[in-house]
Structure 1
């Protein structure tokens, strides 16, 4: 509540964005509950905006990407490619506009984990690929969250510089989904 009081513009922006997303998700599964969970996580992490009092355009793209499972219209054939495009766009925008923040960094990780785990568990027939998805996305998020809760502060995320297994998994899952049709 203190962070929301310090950043009322960010709270309004996040609420408005999630209102639009909820409208798009109204008749879909996982739908409004997914969007509500995204809103709650976003609001609970407003302190990660640090000195900023609003979210950036890159942050909004990241949050939209994280909500693709609830809002993706039509076929899910292209949704993996769309997620990769949004991921590249939000990163480029954050660097170009110098709006990178811990909020955006963590939102990016959560958006990736939520979207790619959902897509893989929901649409991937291979057990090996599903297991790799859990290892690449859900396990690191769960580990960092558990450490954060135990310490009472958010730890730095591990960032391998040479090998990025989650990025490789994104390409594999997106291509398998695209080619399966």
Structure 2
């Protein structure tokens, strides 16, 4: 057993491994990474090493296979990235436009009378049913539906550019 351990001299093969890795990668730091990965694979597959066989060709073979695997993986990844780049839109809307638009909608929503705003909030944002929202506000369902309808109409008017700076309240009077 000791004789096999002595023949499995990885440290003595580091020079050859580094030279071969540099010739494959053409870069010193990539070569060092390749040698490390190859040695890791060699340690993981040490049981596949046949006693009486030379360790150098076995290690160089592992190093070569690791290099080929990395090259294939790199090419595959670059093709995936290229494909994603072709699928993605060429121009994106500026995120600040979205923020400005959201702020405008929020301002229009906040201009709504409290009754309409709370009814719309409970149904559209919180996801309550009409009956649940009416129970929450302690009002009849018909009243809730009326408030939601008037609130939506006011927001539609805002969307269509007919911004109503003063909204009409039912039973109230128009204020200019």
TM-score, normalising length from structure 1? 0.31
Q: Which has the higher contact order (CA 8 A, sep 6+)?
A: 1
Bigger radius of gyration, 1 or 2?
Answer: 2
Give TM-score, length-normalised by structure 2.
0.32
